[in-house]
Amino acid sequence: MAGQTRLFRRGATYYHRAKIPVDIKGTYPKTEETFSLMTKDYDKALRLLRIAAVKVDEKFEAHRRMLKGEPALKTKNIIGDTTVAKPETRSPLLSKVRDEWFKMKAIEGGWTKRTTDQNQAWTDRFITIVGDRPIDQYTKADGRKFRDVMSKFPKNVDKFKELKGFSVQNIPQAAESMGLELMSRANVNKYIIGASALWKWISRNYDEEPSNPLDGMAYKIKVNPKKDRDPFTTEELNIIFKAPTFTGCRSYKGWRNPGTYSLRDSYRYWIPLIGLFTGMRLGEMCQLYTEDVREKQGITFFDIHANREDMSLKTAHSERQIPVHAELFRLGFKMYVKRLRAEGQERFFPDLKMSSEGYWSKNASAHFQRFFKVVGVKHGKNCFHSFRHCFEDACRASGVPKEVMDAIQGHRERGMAARYGSGYELGVLNEAMKRIQYGALNLKHLY
């Protein structure tokens, strides 16, 4: 790729200009590739120039292939040759099998839209990087190639407009030229595990029983779960619950500023409080319906399930019943539920709208990210999930047995307990809830 020889300035704006290579000059539709980089900053222009040069060189190479009558898959790219000779085999192509997998899951109703989109992205990337071949023609070398290429992808690759239009094979070089931070190994593992799910389905449904080229390819990452995300400190919790969102703000949109407007009928008010006193995941709260707050044996509880098409749970163990903590009643929870039922509200958080992608939690997640920054408690290792860690710490400090805490939070039971019985009775969970306290946290100003 050429360097600064392609850079020139017209007025104050920098441009890319490249002469057409001699071997294609006679047939190429332009006399030169010249266009604005749309910046007046020299350093930025250099970064954009490197990206633009890769794209232009790809166009030149594509023109050469066209003249030679070569198909696109025979291109030598910066990762390697994706050309694959089709061996004599009766096995179907991986792309065709993937389509069958999707059709079967649609019939079974086992995937949410989010899961479908993720599996589409993971398997698309696998097929694009290693090629589409009969399922009995993949080897561990393909698995290594997929892992190695994904390891060179930038973090949040789909958010960079500058990378739009690049082939998957050439994204790593473009990302390197821009100096972008690479994708974490944990996220690389998500792609490996996600694409591997297709191969597991293949092994159960096809006679060929091909080996999974991605088996064992995930990075071994030593992570202490307790250090993955921090709980909020008591000081941070007091800051959060003294913010205008809870004490009174200017308006629904003006939640940042103090005022007389109450958000007590909004998800913005209730979700942090419910998260703190139940340990529920954000997605579990966001998808609640009013009828999911129930009463049995004189105990009011949240019924966590996925019995509707717009609901999903992280695991099968996430289905559970969570007693409502007494502090939530003191904060007005019962009156909130009563108003919802009197108004005939189907959704437990009527003001929370589903995102265009079909997720209840996306808009809430974005809002709380902004909220934590505005009130000044956001740092690198906390997020909304920190409320769940707060709940775990409160359980330990209050002497709640780990097995009971796991049952409330929807964690998988270990050992023999996982094989027998149906979990803890609601009464046992309610007694545990009565023990949970937050020490120096003071919410009396919200009563």
Euclidean distance between CA atoms 45 and 39, whole angstroms: 6
Give the highest mean pLDDT range of 36-40, 64-68, 216-220, 405-409: 405-409
Q: What is the pLDDT confidence band of residue 227, given thresholds at 50, 70 and 90?
A: low
Strand pairing category for 320-323 and 7-10: unpaired
Mean of pLDDT values over 182-211: 87
**By the 8 A CB rule, do 232 and 387 touch?**
yes
Q: What is the pLDDT confidence band of residue 276, given thresholds at 50, 70 and 90?
A: very high
Domain boundary among 184, 204, 220: 220
Mean of pLDDT values over 160-175: 78
pLDDT exceeds 90 at position 100:
yes
Residues 267 and 118 in one domain: no
Give 109 or 19, the one with higher predicted confidence: 19
pLDDT exceeds 80 at position 4:
no
Torsion, Cα of 173, 174, 180, 186 (10° steps): -60
Structural domain includes residue 170:
yes
> How do residues 60-76 score in pLDDT, each as one tens digit?
888 888 888 776 544 34
For 394-416, the DSSP string reads HHHHTT--HHHHHHHHTPPP-GG
pLDDT exceeds 90 at position 26:
no
For 31-64, the DSSP string reads SEEEEE-----HHHHHHHHHHHHHHHHHHHHHHH
Residues 194 and 126 in one domain: yes
Residues 312 and 294 in one domain: yes
Owning domain of residue 328: 227-446
Residues 236 and 255 in one domain: yes
What's the confidence (pLDDT) of residue 123? 93
What's the confidence (pLDDT) of residue 82? 41
Euclidean distance between CA atoms 372 and 382, whole angstroms: 9
Mean of pLDDT values over 311-324: 87
Domain boundary among 53, 75, 97: 75
36 beta partners: 15
pLDDT exceeds 70 at position 114:
yes
CA dihedral sign, ordered 33, 36, 41, 44: negative
Q: What is the pLDDT confidence band of residue 348, given thresholds at 50, 70 and 90?
A: very high
Structural domain includes residue 84:
no
Which residue from 447, 434, 334 is spatially nearest to 394, judged by alpha carbons? Answer: 434
Two tokens, residue 424? 């803890």
- The pLDDT > 70 percentage for the chain reads 90
Residues 392 and 283 in one domain: yes
What's the confidence (pLDDT) of residue 224? 58
Structural domain includes residue 82:
no
Structural domain includes residue 81:
no
pLDDT exceeds 70 at position 228:
no
Structural domain includes residue 68:
yes
Residues 386 and 436 in one domain: yes
Residues 277 and 421 in one domain: yes
Euclidean distance between CA atoms 190 and 195, whole angstroms: 8
Q: What is the pLDDT confidence band of residue 280, given thresholds at 50, 70 and 90?
A: very high
Q: pLDDT averaged over the chain?
A: 86
What's the confidence (pLDDT) of residue 157? 78
Q: Is 295 helix (H, G, I), strand (E, B) or coil?
A: strand
Euclidean distance between CA atoms 218 and 190, whole angstroms: 9
Mean of pLDDT values over 365-383: 94
Mean of pLDDT values over 323-343: 97
Structural domain includes residue 50:
yes
What number of other Cβ atoms are within 10 A of residue 181's Cβ? Answer: 9
Residues 236 and 209 in one domain: no
Structural domain includes residue 80:
no
**By the 8 A CB rule, do 382 and 372 touch?**
yes
Between CA 442 and CA 446, with CA 445 as vertex, the angle to 5 degrees is: 100
What's the confidence (pLDDT) of residue 418? 45
Two tokens, residue 256? 């940042």
296 beta partners: 299
Residues 213 and 234 in one domain: no
Domain boundary among 17, 52, 75: 75
Euclidean distance between CA atoms 70 and 60, whole angstroms: 14
Mean of pLDDT values over 140-157: 90
What's the confidence (pLDDT) of residue 225? 53
pLDDT exceeds 70 at position 135:
yes
**By the 8 A CB rule, do 20 and 31 touch?**
yes
**By the 8 A CB rule, do 273 and 330 touch?**
no
Q: Is 19 helix (H, G, I), strand (E, B) or coil?
A: strand
CATH number at residue 390: 1.10.443.10
Structural domain count, the chain:
3
Residues 201 and 169 in one domain: yes
Strand pairing category for 320-323 and 32-36: unpaired
For 94-136, the DSSP string reads HHHHHHHHHHHHHHHT---HHHHHHHHHHHHHHHHHH---BGG
Which residue from 324, 104, 292 is spatially nearest to 197, judged by alpha carbons? Answer: 104
Residues 168 and 241 in one domain: no
Residues 158 and 296 in one domain: no
Mean of pLDDT values over 249-260: 97
- pTM for the full predicted model: 0.61
What's the confidence (pLDDT) of residue 421? 41
Structural domain includes residue 181:
yes
